[in-house]
Chains A and B, each alone.
Chain A
Amino acid sequence: MVFNSLEFVGFIIPVFLLYWFVFSKSSVYQNLFLLITSVLFYVWADWRFLILLAASILVNFYLGIKIYKVPEDRKKSIFLYIGLIFNVGLLLYFKYFNFFYEGFYDVLASFGLASEHSALQILLPLGISFFTFQTLGYLTDVYNEEIEPNTNLLEFSVFVSFFPKILSGPIERAASFIPQIQEKRKPSYEVAVDGLRQILWGLFAKIVIAENCAHFTNTIFDQYQDKSGSVLLVGTFFYAIQLYADFSGYSNMAIGISKLFGIQLMRNFATPFFSVNISDFWRKWHISLTTWMMDYVFTPLSFTLRKHQKKGLVISIIATFILVGFWHGANWTFVVYGLLHGIYFIPLVYSGKMNSSEIVAKGRMIPSIKDILKMLMLFVLIMLTDVFFRADSVGMALDYLRVIFSPSLFTVPTVLFSNVAIITLGLIGVFIVTEWVNREKKHDFEISNYPIYIRWGCYIMLFSLILFFGKSASTFIYFQF
């Protein structure tokens, strides 16, 4: 059941009413109701993996308490390692088994040792990449004495399974999520309306922007062999916008829905295309994943390699980004995607500009020419790298890029000469301008301080655009990860 379906509307309205009017007596009632709702939601999406989710909750709950309670440091680390092996093991088995299995067979085959084989049919449990990262972070935080373990199984179960975020994040941290559900949530009109605005914006991004772009990217990427370089370049442009609109749209809907229940999830995107360098971009793109990687992979790694100064830092960054790429799926394309992003950091490390991250043209409407050029150059780099994200294989991505950098790049991209293309570009314009105007706000559509006629003008405009140009969509790109 995706957020942008009538089914979901039919689900969320009664859930909302029951939550605030029937199960509102105490935090226990609220949490119990959220757990039941989340289980229903998960079962609806895919009932087969409910036991897996339950096992993950129970094992991590128990291990968290164990890590905290055993007195000796050595035993603490043993329980932490059990947790790491359990969680990473789940991911490796369900997500990466065939990748390594195939790789292993290829090696054997190259020595003439392997006979015929076929890949195992392993289904990917929904949301597994997201909830296992949450529990991994939780155990590490308990081990590092950043937080105390949660000793209330009901609360912990809601933390892992809360339905707005179970399928595709944001990857929450116990330290910010659990305290929110330990107290009784009180209804707030402002928060709920703000949530609705965010849902509306997410819906627009997903079914108007992402889906209209998909119309082009699907044809261009599927039949890239008979297209010219200029058309393929247009394809990468549409794909970069599609990927962003799809996932930021999903995230905004998830965060907005959560607000309806009085729970604040972390921001996942902060207008990433308005960045002036790659480090700035990753601070604003899929924030819940990058901060996770920063805390649990990059920091320990760069700490271990600290004697090697800048070289150690470069190795840590590249290793972290390969992992970021590989997190997306068991395919070499994602490894290359991560590796390239890691490499883009090298000039920043050596020029010492790693951490310069600011809102572009803060307090002004018009950016400087220099900022515009920087943003454009970064965008082009990212959109070309996204070819690896979209392609089925590294070979296909390289082929695709080879055609872009061929003389046919200087032909006229006829794909743009249609009403659909012009309308889609216009819609992208609306999308980008709105994000630009709101780039200093808490989210992309935070318009609470505008006068009422502007607010309602925006709502009516978005509703009409959704009605006229919205397309139904039954999945999100990030559901496969």
Chain B
Amino acid sequence: MEASAIKVRLKDVLVSILDHDNFELHDELTAKDVDGWDSLSHMMIITKIEEGFDIKFKLRDLNKLKNLGSLVSVIQAKI
């Protein structure tokens, strides 16, 4: 899947968990830049991504997530 298509679906996931869309999706975006993206919502976002893309993360994948760009490439490698 194209990175841009993944991002579109990611945006839906984020909006559904965080209840707002006050963020711009770009590769350098980090959780800190987004209101409400904390350690609680992080796990809920991860679960939602797993369901949405029908993939399974490993804990090691999670440690590698530094920003949105790395999240997209981890997803790409899984589907």
Residues of A within 8 A of B (CB): 143-146, 294, 298-300, 302-303, 306-307, 309-310, 312-313, 349, 352, 354-355
Alpha-carbon distance between A313 and B44 when the two chains are bound, in angstroms: 10
Q: Are A306 and B59 in contact (CB under 8 A)?
A: no
Q: Are B43 and A306 in contact (CB under 8 A)?
A: yes
| Given known A-B contacts A302-B39, A355-B39, A309 and B63 have beta carbons under 8 A apart | no
The contact of A355 among B40, B57, B64, by CB within 8 Å, is B40
| Given known A-B contacts A144-B63, A299-B62, A306 and B46 have beta carbons under 8 A apart | yes
Q: Are A303 and B40 in contact (CB under 8 A)?
A: no
B13 to chain A, nearest CB (A): 14
Q: Are B47 and A300 in contact (CB under 8 A)?
A: no
Indicate whether B38 reaches chain A with its CB closer than 8 angstroms: yes
A350 to chain B, nearest CB (A): 10
Main secondary structure of the interface of B (DSSP, over half): helix
Q: Are A313 and B40 in contact (CB under 8 A)?
A: yes
In the complex, what residue of chain A is closest to B44 when comparing beta carbons?
Answer: A309
Q: Are B38 and A307 in contact (CB under 8 A)?
A: no
A249 to chain B, nearest CB (A): 30
Chain B residues with Cβ below 8 Å from A298 are 39
In the complex, what residue of chain B is closest to A302 when comparing beta carbons?
Answer: B43
The contact of B47 among A306, A349, A354, by CB within 8 Å, is A306
Q: Are A144 and B60 in contact (CB under 8 A)?
A: yes
* Residues 41-78 of B at the A interface (beta carbon under 8 Å): 41, 43-44, 46-47, 57, 59-60, 62-64
Chain A to chain B contacts (Cβ below 8 Å), 15 pairs: A143-B60, A144-B60, A144-B63, A294-B39, A298-B39, A299-B39, A299-B62, A302-B39, A303-B43, A303-B46, A303-B59, A303-B62, A309-B44, A310-B40, A352-B40
Residues of B within 8 A of A (CB): 36, 38-41, 43-44, 46-47, 57, 59-60, 62-64
Alpha-carbon distance between A299 and B57 when the two chains are bound, in angstroms: 13
Chain A residues with Cβ below 8 Å from B36 are 352
Q: Are A146 and B40 in contact (CB under 8 A)?
A: no
Chain A residues with Cβ below 8 Å from B44 are 306, 309
In the complex, what residue of chain B is closest to A294 when comparing beta carbons?
Answer: B39
Chain B residues with Cβ below 8 Å from A307 are 47
Q: Are A354 and B63 in contact (CB under 8 A)?
A: no
Alpha-carbon distance between A294 and B60 when the two chains are bound, in angstroms: 15
B4 to chain A, nearest CB (A): 27
In the complex, what residue of chain A is closest to B63 when comparing beta carbons?
Answer: A144
Alpha-carbon distance between A303 and B47 when the two chains are bound, in angstroms: 9
Chain A residues with Cβ below 8 Å from B40 are 310, 313, 349, 352, 354-355
Q: Are B43 and A354 in contact (CB under 8 A)?
A: no
Chain A residues with Cβ below 8 Å from B43 are 302-303, 306, 312-313
Closest A-B pairs by Cβ, 6 of them: A355-B38, A306-B43, A144-B63, A306-B47, A354-B40, A144-B60
Q: Are A145 and B64 in contact (CB under 8 A)?
A: yes
In the complex, what residue of chain A is closest to B62 when comparing beta carbons?
Answer: A303
Chain A residues with Cβ below 8 Å from B47 are 306-307, 309
Q: Are B59 and A300 in contact (CB under 8 A)?
A: yes
Q: Besides A352-B36, A355-B38, 6 other CB < 8 A contacts?
A: A144-B63, A299-B62, A306-B43, A349-B40, A354-B39, A354-B40
Alpha-carbon distance between A313 and B38 when the two chains are bound, in angstroms: 12
B51 to chain A, nearest CB (A): 10
Chain B residues with Cβ below 8 Å from A306 are 43-44, 46-47
Alpha-carbon distance between A309 and B44 when the two chains are bound, in angstroms: 7
A322 to chain B, nearest CB (A): 18
Alpha-carbon distance between A440 and B63 when the two chains are bound, in angstroms: 29
> Counting chain B CB atoms within 10 Å of each CB, which of A144, A307, A313, A354 scores highest?
A144
Alpha-carbon distance between A470 and B63 when the two chains are bound, in angstroms: 46
Chain A residues with Cβ below 8 Å from B41 are 352
Alpha-carbon distance between A352 and B39 when the two chains are bound, in angstroms: 10
Alpha-carbon distance between A117 and B60 when the two chains are bound, in angstroms: 46
Alpha-carbon distance between A340 and B21 when the two chains are bound, in angstroms: 37
Alpha-carbon distance between A207 and B47 when the two chains are bound, in angstroms: 50
Alpha-carbon distance between A466 and B44 when the two chains are bound, in angstroms: 52
Chain A residues with Cβ below 8 Å from B57 are 303
Chain A residues with Cβ below 8 Å from B63 are 144-146
A282 to chain B, nearest CB (A): 12
A354 to chain B, nearest CB (A): 5
A67 to chain B, nearest CB (A): 12
Alpha-carbon distance between A309 and B41 when the two chains are bound, in angstroms: 9
A267 to chain B, nearest CB (A): 18
Chain B residues with Cβ below 8 Å from A302 are 39, 43
Chain A residues with Cβ below 8 Å from B62 are 299, 303
Chain A residues with Cβ below 8 Å from B38 are 354-355
Alpha-carbon distance between A144 and B66 when the two chains are bound, in angstroms: 14
Alpha-carbon distance between A303 and B39 when the two chains are bound, in angstroms: 10
Alpha-carbon distance between A307 and B57 when the two chains are bound, in angstroms: 13
A301 to chain B, nearest CB (A): 10
| Given known A-B contacts A306-B46, A307-B47, A145 and B39 have beta carbons under 8 A apart | no
